[in-house]
Amino acid sequence: MNIRRILTGSALLAVLAVQPMAANAASAAPAEATASTANAAPDCQRWPDSNTFGTYCSYADGNRYFRAMAKCKNGRTVPGQWKRVGSGTWSYAYCTSVNSSLSYGWAEIGN
């Protein structure tokens, strides 16, 4: 499966040092594609709170599926369910499932 990440939250710090964000730097939940991302960036919305990371992708450069991934403060990574790109359905990853809270999250894209 071809998988790519879109990061948000504190995970962006390392990415931003190499690739500064464009005009929307003031966004509450910024996204930046990693270097392994193909030419066209996926169009994904993000929704984090203190325990949960949610995402929805309406476009993903020819890929068919996406899911939310959450890195929790206890160090564990929690996946959301795979959803079809453009379906109108969000994927959520819950850190409460591992007795923790959210550190950061990203959208994982795959075929």
pTM exceeds cut of 0.85? no
Please list, residue by residue across 95-106, b when 16 or more beta carbons sit within 10 angstroms of its beta carbon and e when fewer do.
Answer: beeeebebbbbb
| Per-residue pLDDT at 16 exceeds 50 | no
- pLDDT score recorded for residue 86: 93
Q: What is the pLDDT of residues 47-66, one digit of tens each?
A: 999 999 999 999 988 889 99
